[in-house]
Amino acid sequence: GAGVSQSPSNKVTEKGKDVELRCDPISGHTALYWYRQSLGQGLEFLIYFQGNSAPDKSGLPSDRFSAERTGGSVSTLTIQRTQQEDSAVYLCASSLFGGTYYGYTFGSGTRLTVV
């Protein structure tokens, strides 16, 4: 597609429920990233996929968070047993060859509110 597409744009969920956030990267981009933006923590790296390599999960804050990328394209970020501190905007980005020379294109984000 023309840009990075994320859905839903807004999600309100009850504490303890599971949520799935979707990211559809730019066609042909081999690298995909998830970031979280919250008032207290700024922009935090969560996870990175590059081609068929094992993902870099070093930024995931707890084992309640997981992500997968199917067929080298669409990615889903899953948060299990959501907590109020999970409330944030979740941003997805994609890049060509890891972003070094071409930069990173961000989606419009999913605003998650846990009540």
**Smallest gap, in angstroms, from Cβ of residue 83 to another protein?**
23
Tokens of 46: 């969560």
56, 73, 76, 87: residue in contact with another protein (rule CB under 8 A): 56
Query: Residues, the chain, total?
Result: 115
**21 contacts 113 by C-beta, under 8 angstroms:** no
Piece in contact with another protein (CB under 8 A), picked from 19-27, 48-56, 63-71, 74-82: 48-56
Q: Examine residue 43 and tell whether it contacts another protein (CB under 8 A).
A: yes
CA distances from 80 to 43, 51, 67 (A): 21, 26, 11
Give least dist CB 33 to another protein, A.
6
The radius of gyration of the chain from alpha carbons, rounded to an integer in Å, stands at 13
Residues within the interface to another protein (CB under 8 A): 31, 33, 35, 42-43, 45, 48, 50, 56, 58-59, 91, 93, 95, 98-109
